Amino acid sequence: MRIIIVTDAWAPQVNGVVRTLHTMQAELEKMGHEVKMISPDLFGSIPCPTYPEIRLAFARSSVVGQMISAFRPDAIHLATEGPLCLAARRWCLRSGIRFTTAYHTHFPDYVAQRTGLPAGWFWRYIRWFHGPAEAVLVSTRSVRQQLRAHGLPQVRAWGRGVDLTAFTPEAAPPAIFADLPRPIQLYVGRVAVEKNLETFLASDHPGTQVVVGDGPARATLQRAYPQAYFLGPMFGAELAGAYAGADVFVFPSRTDTFGLVMIEALACGTPVAAYPVTGPVDIVTPETGALSDRLEQAIAAALVCDRQACAAYGRSFSWERSAQEFLTGLHNIDPQMLDSAA
């Protein structure tokens, strides 16, 4: 199968969407499929206002359409709601070519936090963008329910996975962990306003707070919370060691639809503490973590979870199964429509 994936999120960005798409491309190609990514690095771009790490591509729909036509895909998937996918969406609709989309992040809540405007305004855009899609691929049951409630009934399941060769309880912790007061409470992810990190860093639970990752809010948060350790970005074995060496993984976000970092932490045997919101409610079980509207209470409860149970549960998340769900959700294109659009 020949698959086009159009995305506004791509390297050098470091986030769950980029990691998911990178892994999905590798899994699909391992299965024998041919995948072409149409991403911002192929075009001129400008930094996103308030989030310069994200590049907004300048792409005419005709140019994107030429790239799609030249590849002769069997399916087209639009992974994000940014300008590059808007250009591809415009070309597909004008050409009568069917496509699928994905809902990776609570975009209305995310933008509302950055602009101060009501989230309801941005739900109109979500309905408009995803409305014509043959299917909207989402990661959890609660997100499927939410999108249906907002007028998008064509949702399909697309779960996530863990690289079980890297993320294991045997991963070696960073040397710095040996000297830190326990329990070590770990956060991994973007250091940005939408991740609600202030709530975690303001927690008065005893122990040490460790932040792994980077982002636009890092300098401000380091100044505001000098007791916390900001270790910067980590990858591969080093990241796995941070998960495995922590006593609890804290996920303070209220805007994520899944939270890939949670299942990575679980695969390393580390229980999760989070709010009872979309993402955590679909992943965390009473045996593998705790959910509470008071983060300190969730941390305390998660610390007594069985780490072996966490690791066993984390191993149940497979990228191969994720790729199969992705393929099932795609919609085959009529080749004659491509001929007429060329």
Q: Which letter, b or e, does each residue of 310-328 get, where b requires 16 or more Cβ atoms within 10 Å of its Cβ?
A: bbebbeebebeebbbbbbe
- Tens digit of pLDDT per residue, the chain (342 long)? 999 999 998 887 778 889 999 999 999 999 999 999 999 989 977 776 666 666 777 889 999 999 999 999 999 999 999 899 999 999 999 999 999 999 987 666 666 666 676 767 788 999 999 999 999 999 999 899 999 999 999 999 999 999 999 999 999 999 999 999 999 999 999 998 889 999 999 999 999 999 999 999 999 999 999 999 999 999 999 999 999 999 999 999 998 888 899 999 999 999 999 999 989 999 999 999 999 999 999 999 999 999 999 999 999 999 999 999 999 999 999 887 887 776
User: How many C-beta atoms lie closer than 10 Å to residue 306's C-beta?
Assistant: 12
For tokens 């009872």, the residue is: 276
pLDDT of 337 reads 80
For residues 322 and 158, is the Cβ–Cβ distance under 8 A? yes
Q: What tokens does 216 get?
A: 């636009």
Which segments of 202-268 does DSSP mark as H helices, in order? 218-224, 236-245, 260-267
Fold annotation for 2-161+320-341? Rossmann fold (3.40.50)
CA dist 73 to 2, 38, 78, Å?
5, 12, 13
Best CA proximity match to 158, nearest among 87, 100, 108, 93: 100
Question: For residues 23-62, b (16+ Cβ closer than 10 Å) or e, as one string?
Answer: bbbebbeeeebebbbbbbeebebeeeeebeebbbbebebe
Give residue 79's Cα distance to chain centre. 11
Residue 303: other Cβ atoms inside 10 A: 18
Residue 202: CB atoms within 10 A of its CB come to 13
Q: What is the DSSP letter of 105?
A: B
Domains 2-161+320-341 and 175-317 share a fold: yes
In this prediction, residue 86 carries a pLDDT of 96
Cβ atoms 74, 3 nearer than 8 A:
yes
Instruction: Give residue 145's region: left, alpha or beta (phi > 0; psi -120 to 50).
Output: alpha
For the chain, domain boundaries: 2-161+320-341, 175-317
Q: Please, what is the angle between helix 260-267 and helix 307-314, to 10°?
A: 120
CATH topology of domain 175-317: Rossmann fold (3.40.50)
> Residue 182's pLDDT is what?
98
pLDDT at residue number 342: 64
